[in-house]
Chain A
Amino acid sequence: MKTLSLKLLSIIAVVFYLFSCSKTLVFPDTESPALPQLENAAAKLLWIGPEYKLAIHAELEDTEGITGVHIKNGEWKIDSALTVDNKTSYTIIDTFLVAKDVNKTKHLVEFTITNTKGGIIKGSVDVEDLSDKNQIPGYDPDLLPPEIEIIKPTVTQYLGFSGEPIDIDIEATIEDEAIASIEVRVWGESADGQPFMEEEIIEPDSDEEKTSYQYAKTFTLPSETAGRYQYIVRSVDESGNKKTVGGDISIGFPDRLYLSDAESEEEVIRQGYDHMGGSRGIGTLLSMEREGTNTFALNIYYPNKSADNIRFIAFLNNEKPFTGNNQSQVNYSLNGDNVIAMSASSPGNLTADLSTASFKLPVSASGYYRVTVDLTERTVRAVSYTPNINMNDAVKYPGWSDAKPWDYMAVTGTTVVGTADWTEKAASPKLVRDATNKYLFTGTFTTNGASSNMSLNAPVAVLGGDIWGKGWFRLVAARNNMIDDYGDLVTIVGPVGLSGGGANWGFSTSPAGTYKASYDLALQRFRLVRIEN
């Protein structure tokens, strides 16, 4: 029943549909209704003076009357609607400012024309590119910005430890067909937030200055604290072309910082030098690791004695504490203008006035410390720590226990007076354990030759007869693989266990003579100062 009803309904619907469409449709046998016509359309890309323009000409016709025209071009972002007020003919003459084509480009301009009956046609026209030649005869624009050559500053990094104002010379040559203005600016701020800004704007008068201007001026920057500054020389020519050059100036941001514990200048000059490696690292200067933008740190053992002489030595750019590829020459002193130390009156702060400085860390007890120097804040901090080394390795530290640490370490090597052999002898010089620091051994030894292959050894008594298999302290790695925080070669003496362990090579000293020595097991620091020839 349901199916039958549906069928009936369908038939009725079809009949009704046919009936409703039975009115004869009459299609005109004449031509199509008139549509708007686009005629004589042209679009030209022109270079007129400094500008690029799209010039459009088009004639529109429509017997019904034109209501509007839409002109579009996507890449030039042209989207312009014109109202035509039902005219039967209309001529478009229009120009649009456009961007210069950096590449040769095919452009189309699209027209959408609407008539009063709603008739729409779309048409387009290719743009003829006539922009190779300027429409103004003789127009020769200056398209290039001024040339600026910075002559000074040649130095842009300063330590500024003295706190004296720093003069920055800025010299530049500016050249152009016609310079309109020159702006020189130095600005920035100190680490404590003090802004600095000085600016000079020059508009050259004479024809000579307009084509070539020599600029020179000294700007004075504060240096009581660290600071970062910039300088620019900017010039605009009369065609509006602009160029800016400049750079950074930093005060108080060294590239390297070292800690010196040399007790005197003599200990600087005579500090240990490994002539086989052409490297330091066994002397009185230690590189500090950069921890932050202007913060440096390292671990040291601080003896807290009257002879303490802790100073921080800073270097800029590629300057280093040693000259020569083999680090043979010392390049600093303890009283240079790159030296900073603790303030006597305020030990947590740093001062470059060494006459008012203290050379002791701001702590009251000997021990291991993490020393952190903040050169932005100009502060020093020492935080005590307990060395965490595994002394249970019976090959590296045979016979060692906290209850019974070694009494000494023997200095061995064929050039070592008293040893004259590879292993400990009865007369071997000994570095004796410090009374308060079980990891520290001090003493002296004498060598009778420069070329050497020396070692430190655990006391022969703890080796159980295995003199080659345990307790050797030699180079921890091949010489080319031992570098400090700044990539310079250093010599590092450490526990290698058996005599053939590590890089299987001993350290050397140079030249022959008597050395004051200390070795720190916790820091693997071998500190040498030659005290007699």
Chain B
Amino acid sequence: MNSSYIKFTGLTVAIIVVLSTFVGCRHYLDREIESNYREDEVFVNYERMSEAGYGVYAFLFGQFGFHRIDNAMLASACDEADHADINSLIQKFNLGTWTAVENPESAWQHFYQGIRRANLFLENSINYKEIVFRDTLDADNKSKYEYDVRDIAWLRAEVRFLRAYYHFELIKRYGGVPIMTTTKYSAEELNSLGRRRFEECVDFIKNECDSLLPHLKDTWVGFDSDKWRGRVTKGAALALKARLLLYAASPLHNPSNDIEKWERAAEAAHDVIAMNRYGLHSDYRALFRLGNGADGNTEVIFAQQGWNRNDFEKMNYPIGYTQGGQGSTSPSQNLVDAYEMKATGVPITEPGSGYDPQNPYQGRDPRLGFSILTNDTQFKGRPVEAWIGGLDGLGKRKATTTGYYLRKFVDENLDLARNESSVHTWLLFRYAEVLLNFAEAMNEAYGPEATNGYSMSAKAAVDRIRRRTGVEMPILPPGLSQQEMRERIQNERRVELAFEEHRFFDVRRWKIAEETENMPIMAMQITRNSDGNFDYLVVKAENRVFEEKMYQYPIPEMEVLKSGGALTQNAGW
């Protein structure tokens, strides 16, 4: 790993720890800890002020990515996977027992804390030029002064982006929420803040993206010895806007199907495409193992900066490996069935697809093998034994509950017995998603094959993803109806973005969750015959419960009560 990345990453991790201390100990014994700065001691020089700004990045951690909900991935709360530990809190999503009091994902508190940190920084760094100047009166420091001023100017735009992003993460879950742009509320005012309409929140986030855009850098790659890799760029702001407008145009928030919303979403996604900065990586599997060099990759628009760890491998290596896997994320048969046949480019359910139920993983979309470990696949020097009685097979304690193990994101090369580790970064925005956002919006706005003056049609955008080097799936057939294209795009998202925290929200914004999330999670029961061949039988792994009210999260009960009626609860909760 480039040592220069370590600074920003290490700083971020340190900030997380410090912030945790702040949050956790806020009233601890009601005494001040002298080693902490008071607010009026922070915004006095570049170093402290900038660290306060970088601290806002810390809220990118904990609510995105690897096994973050009681050791489970969010994928295990939708039809992508099952979490092998039945006692994990994530199961509340699946059993339908989550409530306004107990939600496995405490996003409300987390993101509002991040927003408050952002507002603190933005309010107190307004006079950053003066603050920095006081610190650099020495004439010799002129260049440092210019550097610092420029850096804070960028950082202010980045923090505004993060504040917008955190608001988006809230509305994605809760619908309209209070918009917080200042810290200067009295306790009373704070408690009486009401929810804003979803559309108002969308406008706020969109306007923020538009206005901060000119103040962001194109890239941090190659700047100042790569010291600041991983910070927000123009591409991230445009990608957030594209995702935001797609959500706003989707059936959950656009019940009257206002076509103009889709048009705006298409335009926003195309703005990212038209930057001509991004493309598709030539190695789908390696894309998720780029480490902190991810932002230098042509496909990665914005990613968390990670650190060396092996807990994800400990959680997800198949259990039979002596180095100790726990197989926690068990991909579902439901998802496995979504991967098409490579030769024909059609779903396995279609006659003539070429699918062979006796060799169910043969000839499939290569992304299946890149994302999911199927039975008899070579992994760390031996085939995975997911069959009954096999080393990794069904029925063993902590074994997969579905007959599959996770491969995406997993570093196959670690020797856990020697506690080896590697940098894991979570991709927050990548170009393939932008292409799919564009495809979906274009199909809804103009139809499958119209370009409407843009550089590509919905079909061409999907085809581009399917033709990625190393994937090379057949392009979609021409002449699809809008509905047919909608289904193909939805399936393409499911496959291309599997386990990346999209599906959970996609089925909600498409308003198909009552169908997809009430389907049982199916598993593959594999029996090894005496001749070494396998018999495959699909069985039910688990029933799932999804009710209409679950399209949106409940506002935490405590927040509703504190607000004295200002915060209205979502319907059904």
The one of B337, B455, B478 that contacts A232, using a Cβ cutoff of 8 Å: B478
Q: How far is the CA of A330 from the CA of B340 in the complex (A)?
A: 47
A244 touches B522 (CB 8 A): no
Q: Does residue A386 face the partner (Cβ distance < 8 Å to B)?
A: no
The answer, yes or no, to whether B355 is at the interface (CB within 8 Å) is yes
A103 to B358, CA, bound (A): 8
CB contact list, B312-357 vs A, under 8 A: 333, 337, 348-349, 351-352, 355, 357
Stretch from B152-160, B253-261, B536-544, B555-563 contacting the other chain: B536-544
Q: A75 to chain B: closest CB distance in Å?
A: 6
Q: A113-161: which residues lie under 8 A (CB-CB) from chain B?
A: 143-145
A108 interfacial by beta-carbon distance below 8 Å: yes
In the complex, the chain A residue whose C-beta lies closest to that of B480 is A244
Question: Chain B: interface secondary structure?
Answer: loop
Report the Cα distance A248→B451, complex, angstroms. 13
A105 with B519: CB separation less than 8 A: no
| Residue A247, interface by CB 8 Å | yes
Please determine whether B522 and A75 come into contact, CB atoms closer than 8 angstroms: yes
Residues of B within 8 A of A248 (CB): 478
Q: Report if A465 contacts B (CB, 8 A).
A: no
CB of B479 closer than 8 Å to a CB of A: yes
Chain A nearest CB, measured from B479 CB (Å): 4
Total residues of chain B contacting the partner, CB 8 A: 31
Q: Which residues of B contact A143 (CB under 8 A)?
A: 351-352
Q: Does A74 contact B (CB under 8 A)?
A: yes
Within the complex, what minimum Cβ distance (angstroms) separates A523 from chain B? Answer: 23
A134 to chain B, nearest CB (A): 15
Contact with A along B476-519 (1 / 0, CB 8 A): 01111000000000000000000000000000000000010011
List residues of chain B with CB within 8 A of the CB of A231: 478
A101–B478 Cα gap in the complex (Å)? 28
Task: Assess whether A104 is in contact with B538, with CB atoms less than 8 Å apart.
Answer: yes
A372 to B538, CA, bound (A): 60
Does A425 lie at the interface of the complex (its beta carbon under 8 Å from any beta carbon of B)? no
B-contact bits for A47-58, CB 8 A (1 contact / 0 none): 000000000000
Taking CB atoms and an 8 Å cut-off, the chain B residues in 521-554 that contact chain A are: 522, 524-525, 536-540, 543-544
Whether A105 contacts B538 by the Cβ 8 Å rule is yes
Across the two chains, which residue of chain A brings its CB closest to B353? A102
Docked complex Cα distance between A105 and B430 (Å): 37
Contacts of B451 in A (CB 8 A): 228
* Bound-state Cα–Cα, A459 to B337, Å: 74
Query: CB of B360 within 8 A of chain A?
Result: yes
Check A185/B479 contact, CB under 8 A, given A74-B519, A103-B360, A104-B537: yes
Q: Do A293 and B455 contact each other (CB < 8 Å), given the known contacts A75-B540, A104-B357, A104-B536? A: yes
Contact B455 A106 (CB under 8 A): no
The answer for the CA separation of A293 and B455 in the assembled complex, in Å, is 6
Asked if B62 is an interface residue, CB under 8 A from chain A, the answer is no
Bound-state Cα–Cα, A232 to B352, Å: 20
Could you tell me if B351 and A241 are in contact, using CB atoms closer than 8 angstroms? yes
| B139: min CB distance to chain A, Å | 28
CA–CA, A228 and B450, complex, Å: 9
A103-B357, A230-B478 are contacts. A74–B543 as well, Cβ < 8 Å? yes
Given contacts A100-B349, A103-B360, A143-B352, contact A244 B477 (CB under 8 A): yes
Q: Is the CB of A244 within 8 A of B479?
A: yes
Across the interface, which residues of B come within 8 angstroms of A104, CB to CB? Answer: 357, 536-538
Chain A: interface residue total (CB-CB under 8 A): 31
Whether, in the assembled complex, B369 has its beta carbon less than 8 Å from a beta carbon of chain A, the answer is no
Taking A102-B357, A103-B536 as contacts, is the C-beta distance between A245 and B478 under 8 angstroms?
yes
Task: Answer yes or no: B395 CB below 8 A from chain A CBs.
Answer: no
CA distance A100 to B351 in the complex (A): 11
B489: shortest Cβ distance to chain A, in Å? 17
- Is A234 interfacial (CB 8 A cutoff)? yes
Asked if A246 is at the interface (CB within 8 A of a chain B CB), the reply is yes
| Contact pattern, A 224-241, Cβ under 8 Å of B = 1, otherwise 0 | 000010111010000001
Let me know if A292 is at the binding interface, CB within 8 A. yes
Contact indicator A106/B537 (Cβ below 8 Å): yes
Instruction: Find residues 74-101 in chain A having any chain B CB closer than 8 Å to their own CB.
Output: 74-75, 77, 99-101
List, in ascending order, chain B residues with CB within 8 A of A108's CB: 540
Q: How many A-B contacts if CB must be within 8 Å? A: 74
Q: Which residues of A contact B540 (CB under 8 A)?
A: 74-75, 106, 108
Inter-chain contacts of A103 with B (CB < 8 A): 333, 337, 357, 360, 524, 536-538
Is B251 in contact with chain A by the CB < 8 A criterion?
no
- B279 is an interface residue with CB less than 8 A from chain A: no
Q: Is B449 among interface residues, defined by CB-CB distance under 8 A?
A: yes
Q: A143-B352, A232-B479, A245-B477 are in contact. Are A77 and B519 (CB under 8 A)?
A: yes
Contact B538–A106 (Cβ < 8 Å): yes
Closest to A228 in B: B451
Task: Give bound CA distance, A268 to B518, whole Å.
Answer: 71
Residues of A295-336 contacting chain B, CB below 8 A: none
Q: How far is the CB of A369 from chain B (nearest CB, A)?
A: 23
Q: How far is the CB of B117 from chain A (nearest CB, A)?
A: 41
In whole Å, how far is B366's beta carbon from the nearest beta carbon of chain A? 20
Q: Which residue of A lies closest to B515 (CB)?
A: A77
Contact of B520 with A by CB under 8 A: yes
Q: Are A74 and B351 CB-contacts (below 8 A) given A101-B538, A106-B539?
A: no
In angstroms, how far is the closest chain B Cβ from the Cβ of A137? 21
Cβ contacts under 8 Å, B518 to chain A: 74, 77
Q: Is the CB–CB distance between B539 and A244 below 8 Å?
A: no
Q: Determine how close the nearest CB of chain A comes to the CB of B33; give it in whole angstroms.
A: 39
Name the CB-closest residue of B to A291.
B276
Chain B: CB-nearest residue to A241: B351
C-alpha gap A292/B536 in the complex (Å): 51
Contact A102 B349 (CB under 8 A): yes
A144 touches B477 (CB 8 A): no
A376's nearest neighbour on chain B, judged by CB, is B453
In the complex, the chain A residue whose C-beta lies closest to that of B448 is A230
**When chains A and B are docked, how far (Å) is the Cα of A75 from the Cα of B518?**
9
How far apart are the CA atoms of A234 and B479 in the complex, in Å? 8
User: Shortest CB–CB separation between residue A132 and chain B, in angstroms?
Assistant: 12
Q: What A residues does B449 contact at CB under 8 A?
A: 230
Tell me the complex Cα distance, A100–B349, Å.
8
B455 partner residues in chain A, CB cutoff 8 A: 292-293
Contacts of A241 in B (CB 8 A): 351
Contact B348 A105 (CB under 8 A): no
B478–A144 CB distance below 8 A: no
In the complex, how many angstroms separate the beta carbon of A263 from the nearest chain B beta carbon? Answer: 35
Question: What is the bound-complex CA distance between A74 and B334, given in angstroms?
Answer: 13
Assembled-state Cα–Cα distance A521/B538 (Å): 72
Residues of A within 8 A of B519 (CB): 74-75, 77
CA gap between A243 and B518 in the complex, in Å: 32
Docked CA distance A351–B28 (Å): 80
Task: List residues of A (196-240) whose CB comes within 8 Å of B's CBs.
Answer: 228, 230-232, 234
* Shortest beta-carbon distance from A505 to chain B in Å: 30
- CB contacts under 8 Å to A, within B74-130, are none
Q: How far is the CB of A231 from chain B (nearest CB, A)?
A: 8
Contact residues in A for B520 (Cβ distance below 8 Å): 74-75
With A and B bound together, what is the CA distance between A293 and B536 in angstroms? 49
Min CB distance A403 to B, Å, is 32
Shortest C-beta distance, B528 to chain A (Å), equals 16
Which among A74, A108, A143, A293 has the highest number of chain B CB atoms within 10 Å? A74
**Chain A residues near B349 (CB-CB < 8 A):** 99-100, 102
Scoring A75, A77, A99 by chain B CB atoms within 10 A of each residue's CB, the highest score goes to A75
CB-defined A-B contacts under 8 Å, sample of 11: A75-B519, A75-B540, A77-B519, A102-B348, A103-B538, A108-B540, A143-B351, A143-B352, A245-B477, A246-B478, A293-B455
Chain A residues engaging chain B, CB cutoff 8 angstroms: 74-75, 77, 99-106, 108, 143-145, 185, 189, 228, 230-232, 234, 241, 243-248, 292-293
Known: A145-B351, A145-B352. 12 other contacts (CB 8 A): A74-B540, A74-B543, A75-B520, A105-B522, A106-B537, A143-B352, A241-B351, A244-B478, A244-B480, A245-B478, A246-B477, A246-B479
10 smallest CB-CB distances across A and B, nearest first, come from A246-B478, A143-B351, A232-B479, A74-B520, A105-B538, A244-B479, A106-B539, A103-B538, A293-B455, A144-B352
